[in-house]
């Protein structure tokens, strides 16, 4: 089969295999002057709760009155629609996909185009093209925030998105465990190689509070702060290990919806830190020209 031949993805998403796919100039979020703040949510390894962090942080930002969208770029482990409680697929108007919304957050995911129990067996160029279409063939408008749930590690998808979204920032998710922290730093180093700014670190599963009021650090302590110190970025927040987080993810009821709950307060605080304390101080304005 010719490597340049068009291939069909799920639900009519066409995928063209290329030997070396270049960054897409048509991605609106990568253009100078676009006001959407793009946050890549990354981790070095799976199982640290990156998708849960993405979904709940998106909801918390929406509660601050922000227009928020999420791209579920973890095409092998897609889970954002379930976590947000979205079951209906996107609609199509004039060849553009209209993303479904829940809790004030719009999202697109491979989960809308593939059965939940079926694996996505695609090569790098096919993934590259599908992600490009998630960014260009979806009617996003110009949201305040676009959160991108990256797959674990430093593979093709992360590299492609760095090319599509050159002005993106990265938040690295880790657990307190030293091993997880060491692996997570690889994602940060990948970002540096791709000229992506690492904005902060989020530590998940920081502790479990027993019924007796004792705090149990099941995965150790200090990994998030150690990574933040090493990268010279802030520790955005620490998320405790709570059964309600798991239940909310399974049932499509993000804990960030209840801002008065223990977990809701944590995510509301992290959203404030991201939105205020870590807000970029520089914006690209191509309409402003410097003259001698």
128-137 pLDDT, tens digit per residue, is 788 888 999 9
In-domain check, residue 52: yes
In-domain check, residue 122: yes
Number of domains in the chain: 1
The three-state (H, E, C) secondary structure of the chain, written as one string: CCCCCEEECHHHCEEECCCCCCCCCCCHHHCCCCCCEEEEEECCCCCCCHHHHHHHHHHHHHHCCCCEEEEECCCCCCCHHHHHCCCCCCEEECCEEECCEECCEEEEEHHHCCCCCCCCCCCHHHHHHHHHHHHHCECCCCCCEEEEECCCCCCHHHHHHHHHCCCCEEEEEECCCHHHHHHHHHHHHHHHHCCCEEEEEEEECCCEECCCCCEECCCCCCHHHHHHHHHCCCEEEEECCCHHHHHHHHHCCCHHHCCCCHHHHHHHHHHHHHHHHCCCCCCCCCCCCCCC
In-domain check, residue 123: yes
Reported as a single tens digit per residue, the pLDDT across 52-82 is 999 999 999 999 999 999 999 988 788 999 9
Q: What is the pLDDT of residue 27?
A: 85
In-domain check, residue 127: yes
In-domain check, residue 22: no
In-domain check, residue 262: yes
Structural domain harbouring 119: 38-277
Q: What is the pLDDT of residue 117?
A: 64
Task: Report pTM.
Answer: 0.84
The stretch 170-179 carries a mean pLDDT of: 91
CATH code where residue 185 lies: 3.40.50.300
Q: What is the pLDDT of residue 124?
A: 63
């Amino acid at each position: 089969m010719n490597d340049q031949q068009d291939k069909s993805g799920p639900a009519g998403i066409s995928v063209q295999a290329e030997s070396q796919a270049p960054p897409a100039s048509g991605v609106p979020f990568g253009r100078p002057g676009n006001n959407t703040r793009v946050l890549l949510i990354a981790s070095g390894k799976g199982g640290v709760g990156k998708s849960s962090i993405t979904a709940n942080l998106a909801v918390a930002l929406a509660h601050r009155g922000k227009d928020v969208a999420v791209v579920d770029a973890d095409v092998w482990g897609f889970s954002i629609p379930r976590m947000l409680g979205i079951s209906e697929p996107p609609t199509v108007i004039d060849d553009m996909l209209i993303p479904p919304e829940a809790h004030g957050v719009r999202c697109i995911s491979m989960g809308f185009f593939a059965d939940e129990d079926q694996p996505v067996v695609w090569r790098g160029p096919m993934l590259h093209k599908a992600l490009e279409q998630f960014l260009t063939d979806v009617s996003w408008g110009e949201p305040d925030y676009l959160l991108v749930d990256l797959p674990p590690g430093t593979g093709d998808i992360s590299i492609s998105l760095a090319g599509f979204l050159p002005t993106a920032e990265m938040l690295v998710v880790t657990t307190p465990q030293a091993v997880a922290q060491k692996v997570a730093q690889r994602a940060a180093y990948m970002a540096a190689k791709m000229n992506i700014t690492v904005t902060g670190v989020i530590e998940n599963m920081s502790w479990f509070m027993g019924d007796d009021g004792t705090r149990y650090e099941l995965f150790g302590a200090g990994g998030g702060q150690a990574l933040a110190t090493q990268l010279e970025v802030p520790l955005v927040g620490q998320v405790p290990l709570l059964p309600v987080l798991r239940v909310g993810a399974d049932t499509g009821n993000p804990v960030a919806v209840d801002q008065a709950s223990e977990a809701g307060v944590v995510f509301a605080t992290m959203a404030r830190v991201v939105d205020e304390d870590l807000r970029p101080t520089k914006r690209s304005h191509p309409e402003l020209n410097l003259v001698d």
